[in-house]
Amino acid sequence: MVDGWEYAIQTMRTGERSIVRVSDPKYGYGSVGIPPIIPPNSVIEMDLEILGVEAGVDLGTIASADPLKPRTPASIAEAYNTRRERAALEAANQKEGLEGFLERAKSFYFFGFFEGETGQAAPWYLRPSITFPLAFLVVGAAFAVTLLGGAITERGAPVTDELDEIIFNNFLL
């Protein structure tokens, strides 16, 4: 969203519909625009309707109440460098070998199928680290039982003809 829309949305109530006109490029797409779609210094007009309001987390946008969130290129670069330094320190403290792999494996995340809408943990038997290997084991065991039980066989008895006899007698002996 552009900054002008953020300010406008904060002044609206649930169910309210408004046409928001952002005439100052500073609160729109600026002097650069988004070529070829939005020309530089464009006036932006948008029809907004607030269908519902949900309290959430502060995303650090320009309309945010927290002035410490990075907003300028310099503050964003500084925050990025701080995070890189923190990541480098964490990388230096990581364990190696099997112990390191096991520690990383504990943080693996498989999709979102196994969580409730509220984020509550699934029962132990529905955790992906248990369910997927068990599924492969069950399918593999079923295939082995089917094969060993004779349900999977070659259709018909092997038949040899003259060509087979020529090959076996002349080339394989």
Residues 78-91 have a mean pLDDT of: 84
pLDDT at 124: 76
Q: Alpha carbon of 158 to those of 75, 89, 150, 161, 167: distances in Å?
A: 77, 66, 17, 10, 16
pLDDT at 145: 94
pLDDT above 70 for 52: yes
pLDDT band at 135 (very low <50, low <70, confident <90, very high): very high
pLDDT above 60 for 68: no
pLDDT at 72: 63
pLDDT above 80 for 83: yes
pLDDT band at 132 (very low <50, low <70, confident <90, very high): confident
Q: Residue 22, Cβ neighbours under 10 Å: how many?
A: 20
pLDDT at 78: 80
pLDDT above 90 for 13: no
19 close to 46: Cβ distance less than 8 angstroms:
yes
pTM of the model: 0.33
* Mean pLDDT comparison of 12-26, 47-61, 92-106, highest-scoring range: 12-26
Q: How do the domains of the chain map onto residue ranges?
A: 3-49, 73-105, 111-153
Residues 6+ apart with CB under 8 A from 113: 128
